[in-house]
Structure 1
Amino acid sequence: MNSVLFGRNGFRVCKVCWKWCGLRRSFKKEKGVYIVDQIWKGVPEKGIKEAVSVTRLDCFPAKTLLYCNYFCLKCGGGVFVFLQDLSLPNGTPVDTSSPASSSSLLNRLQLDDDLDGETRDLFVTVDDPKKHVCTMETYITYRVTTKTTRAEFDLPEYSVRRRYQDFDWLRNKLEESQPTHLIPPLPEKFVMKGVVDRFSEEFVETRRKALDKFLKRIADHPVLSFNEHFNVFLTAKDLNAYKKQGMALLSKMGESVKYVTGGYKLRSRPLEFAAIGDYLDTFVLKLGTIDRIAQRIIKEELEYLVELREYGPVYSTWGGLEGELAEPLEGVSACIGNCCTALEELSDDMTEDFLPVLREYILYSESMKNVLKKRDQVQAEYEAKLEAVALKKEERPKVPVEVEKCQDRVECFNADLKADMERWQNNKRQDFRQLLMGMADKNIQYYEKCLTAWESVIPLLQDKPETK
């Protein structure tokens, strides 16, 4: 058992790649002790996952185990997950000073963000938008390029073309087959406010960036990136043929969630998830306020830009009537023209880079709220079934299998939701740090350009002697 990584508070860490894991389990309960049906191991280079001999975990009491065994979907390494701090049956605590302790593990996990990129084995890019004009419709397709070393792919590189509705199909399939996970949002389908032509170069480029980020987030997810529908989306030359086959069935978890209706009422959401819900409500409110104010600022900047463009040429035409003042007036006109260019660039950056991130995270938050609602529905179903069993007047009522399965689904939801929330918070921290740093840099550049433009006028005024 020395190879097992002991984690605290539900650590889920791969023993091979030392990363937080997307997990699948294989376990059963027998006489109060959990039996590992299959311990999985794998060859990271080939992605091979094979079962080895059945192992009995008699050295730990069953109550300490949250789940018995997992394997990492990223590299195939074995994973063990524990509900609480562990001690051996004789009361001896697990040595946390060993290389496999949680403190050592945290030090490994808190490496620089760039190191994570070195372990990636799936890279997806969206580029080269093309307009297609047909008899019935006009639409845009995007080239989706995939490079990978995963064994699930037959080739190391793929290139296919997809339109927006294909991305929408993928997201719907991910929601159906992975209901416990947070699915990244797509950009809004309809034309955004202020954009008249959905085929304009600016709109198409903004959407391309959003679609590229959508696929990259899925590719970086340890569970979603192994989804069958995602594989088909990246590789199939004729995606419509796959859609028509209808071969993708909902997973058992998906079916259970899909058919849970509003017939069950949740007594109370656990404090941890209630805090997440409250945070998301406040977060969306703040982002919405920033988005509205930013749009007003952009509108005022564009109105100011119109005035500047009319303001500058006046000095130029005036200079044509003057003698000695002609050069300084031309300098002022050119200065204002440079300020116009700088302001236009600043406004474009706000429109193309700042606002889309705000809107993405507003949609992201709504997606997280939907997952929370699904979790609440499953918990409400579990509570209702558990109460129904308790009402049965049997001397020693046995908990039905379906109640145990329902409890299992709740635990799955809780574990996956917390892992995705942590991943989302990390992404949010990185994205907004980059966004705010970029905004500060763009504003500095704008004011520096304006300062340089106005400073260039001063020598023209100083060199001219005053007329008597």
Structure 2
Amino acid sequence: FFDKHGVDNYLLHGCKAKTDEHVHIGYDEKEGGICWSHNPTMPPFTCKVEEPLKGTKLGGFKSFIEYKIHTQISGNRVVGRRYKQFDWLHEQLVNKFRFICIPPLPEKQIAGRFEQEFVEERRRQLEIWLNRICRHPVLCASFPVQHFVTCELTDGNNKEWKAGKRRSEKDELREAVWLHCVTFTNSNLSDADITSYIDAFVQQQPSLESQIKNLTQGLVKYLERHTEIYERDIQRISELFAKFQKVLQMDTTTLGNKELSDSTLKVSTAYNSIADLYKTKGSEGIRDFDERIQEYIGLLACFPLILSIQRSASEFIRNIQQRGPSTVSDYNGVIHRSQVLNHVVLAEINFFQKEKVQDLNLYMKTLMHEQIQFYEQITSELHDAAVTFH
């Protein structure tokens, strides 16, 4: 019924594979209840994606951008990665961790991909993406991520990289089989309680995704007005005051006219500076905020499949319970494995919700402070012009 991801086979038969990979789900009220436990040997970490550098191969026939990656866990080691290696990592994570939100990579651009502005934007977006992965308690400790951030790779030394790449690609613990690695701490929550928490998120998710999309669309239009309308209109005001000042200069005899002329020039200069602020400072903070919350559109887009699989599994289990234990050979095992799936889904929901609150608090606070500084600079420009009038 939903065997594309192997869930039915997992529920009915479990998995005989032996593994050294272990993921635990605990219970902590401070973490929202059911939550991912941190791997004791590899807790979440941060990383930097730096120094994009254009490289060539095949005698200059093929060009690419390589980024330097530095993490907390690698000491002074810096590894170089191209976009195609980021793409490889994304593919491995999506295939292995079907029940964890893997945000999409920034899209690959062909035309203009070596232009400085695009390269910097791509570097920033890749850093955001990689930090999202490395902050996740499960993903950060996974072999594909550890291999990606620590294995050195050069044209002359790629043996270790290729060996790790093959190991990841041949990993059998993926899709529903990965659930075999998961254990959970029993809590006071019943199966019905867990299902109700999941169902509550099912009701929230579409609206949250829709409103974030609306917000980003509004911000994009607002940014366009900043540079295409506001900046141009304010520059026009500056030019009009400058022309007005030239006319005032023609009167060389009236007392106080020179001071009036000089002050009018200050007004023109102030509006010109304000136009520049709209182009730079006014746009930067909003653009950064928009980029950050757009990441959440990608995260939220992961949930429909996860929730659909969980819903199908729940219906399957209800049917078995209605028919009675004798209908399957390992009834208790089937029930336990369905509980594992529900714990995984709720742990991911709770992790997402916790990150959402932390992130949006930081993003909006940062945006407000940047906007305050922006408008204070505008006020300062106008004030400097105003004090010159008598």
The bucket for the TM-score relative to the shorter chain is 0.7 to 0.9
Secondary structure of 1:250's match?
coil
Identify if the C-alpha distance between structure 1 residues 272 and 22 changes in structure 2 by more than 3 Å, giving closer, same or farther. Answer: closer
Secondary structure of 1:456's match?
helix
Contact 1:305–1:344 (Cα < 8 Å) also in 2: yes
Q: Deviations over 1:262-310 (max 9, x none)?
A: xxxxxxx944323212211000111111111111111122211022223
Partner of 2:121: 206
- Correspondence 1:68-107 to 2 at 5 A: 74-75=39-40
Gaps of 5+ in 1: 1-9, 25-73, 77-118, 149-154, 258-268, 391-397, 463-468
TM-score (norm 2): 0.72
Partner of 2:348: 420
Contact 2:67–2:123 (Cα < 8 Å) also in 1: yes
Q: Distance in 2 between matches of 1:201 and 1:351?
A: 21
Partner of 1:167: 86
Q: Deviations over 1:291-348 (max 9, x none)?
A: 1111111112221102222332343344344435431222111101221122223443
- Correspondence 1:285-434 to 2 at 5 A: 285-302=210-227, 303-323=229-249, 325-380=260-315, 382=317, 398=326, 400=328, 405-434=333-362
Structure 1 counterpart of 2:86, one-letter code? F
Which stretch shifts more, 122-131 or 448-457?
122-131
Contact 2:216–2:290 (Cα < 8 Å) also in 1: yes
Structure 1 counterpart of 2:67, one-letter code? Y
Identify if the C-alpha distance between structure 1 residues 384 and 189 changes in structure 2 by more than 3 Å, giving closer, same or farther. Answer: farther
Q: Distance in 2 between matches of 1:297 and 1:406?
A: 53
Partner of 2:201: 276
User: Which of residues 88, 98, 123 in structure 2 aligns to 1:179?
Assistant: 98
Identify if the C-alpha distance between structure 1 residues 415 and 159 changes in structure 2 by more than 3 Å, giving closer, same or farther. Answer: same
Q: CA RMSD in A?
A: 3.5
Q: Distance in 2 between matches of 1:21 and 1:380?
A: 24
Question: Structure 1 residue 385: deviation in Å?
Answer: 6.3
Partner of 2:149: 234
Identify if the C-alpha distance between structure 1 residues 457 and 253 changes in structure 2 by more than 3 Å, giving closer, same or farther. Answer: closer
User: Which of residues 251, 262, 277 in structure 1 aligns to 2:173?
Assistant: 251
Q: Distance in 2 between matches of 1:11 and 1:235?
A: 26
Partner of 2:71: 146
Secondary structure of 2:40's match?
coil
Partner of 1:43: none
Q: Deviations over 1:8-32 (max 9, x none)?
A: xx98159xxxx986469xxxxxxxx
Structure having greater relative contact order (Cα 8 Å, sep ≥ 6): 2
State yes or no: 1:457 paired with 2:385.
Answer: yes
Secondary structure of 1:429's match?
helix
Number of corresponding residues: 330
Identify if the C-alpha distance between structure 1 residues 306 and 254 changes in structure 2 by more than 3 Å, giving closer, same or farther. Answer: same
Identify if the C-alpha distance between structure 1 residues 330 and 435 changes in structure 2 by more than 3 Å, giving closer, same or farther. Answer: same
Contact 2:92–2:168 (Cα < 8 Å) also in 1: no
Structure 1 counterpart of 2:311, one-letter code? D
Contact 1:132–1:140 (Cα < 8 Å) also in 2: yes
Question: Structure 1 residue 356: deviation in Å?
Answer: 0.8
State yes or no: 1:12 paired with 2:5.
Answer: no
Secondary structure of 1:182's match?
coil
Contact 2:44–2:137 (Cα < 8 Å) also in 1: no
Q: Distance in 1 between matches of 2:174 and 2:317?
A: 16
Identify if the C-alpha distance between structure 1 residues 223 and 142 changes in structure 2 by more than 3 Å, giving closer, same or farther. Answer: same
Partner of 2:51: 128
Partner of 1:219: 134
Q: Distance in 1 between matches of 2:72 and 2:168?
A: 27
Structure 1 counterpart of 2:78, one-letter code? S
Which stretch shifts more, 363-372 or 216-225?
216-225
Secondary structure of 2:89's match?
helix
Structure 1 counterpart of 2:306, one-letter code? V
Q: Distance in 1 between matches of 2:274 and 2:134?
A: 42
Identify if the C-alpha distance between structure 1 residues 367 and 253 changes in structure 2 by more than 3 Å, giving closer, same or farther. Answer: closer
Secondary structure of 1:75's match?
coil
Structure 1 counterpart of 2:385, one-letter code? V
Question: Structure 1 residue 136: deviation in Å?
Answer: 5.0
Structure 1 counterpart of 2:360, one-letter code? F
Contact 2:44–2:140 (Cα < 8 Å) also in 1: no
Amino-acid identity (%): 18
Secondary structure of 2:206's match?
helix
Contact 1:127–1:142 (Cα < 8 Å) also in 2: yes
Identify if the C-alpha distance between structure 1 residues 256 and 441 changes in structure 2 by more than 3 Å, giving closer, same or farther. Answer: closer
Question: Structure 1 residue 410: deviation in Å?
Answer: 2.4
Identify if the C-alpha distance between structure 1 residues 399 and 418 changes in structure 2 by more than 3 Å, giving closer, same or farther. Answer: same
Secondary structure of 1:12's match?
strand
Q: Deviations over 1:387-445 (max 9, x none)?
A: 7876xxxxxxx564566554444222211221222121111111111111122112211
Q: Distance in 2 between matches of 1:225 and 1:416?
A: 16
Question: Structure 1 residue 355: deviation in Å?
Answer: 0.9
State yes or no: 1:436 paired with 2:356.
Answer: no
Contact 2:235–2:272 (Cα < 8 Å) also in 1: yes
Identify if the C-alpha distance between structure 1 residues 215 and 159 changes in structure 2 by more than 3 Å, giving closer, same or farther. Answer: same
Question: Structure 1 residue 369: deviation in Å?
Answer: 2.4
Structure 2 counterpart of 1:131, one-letter code? K
Q: Distance in 2 between matches of 1:256 and 1:11?
A: 14
Q: Distance in 2 between matches of 1:196 and 1:442?
A: 33
State yes or no: 1:189 paired with 2:107.
Answer: yes
Structure 1 counterpart of 2:172, one-letter code? L
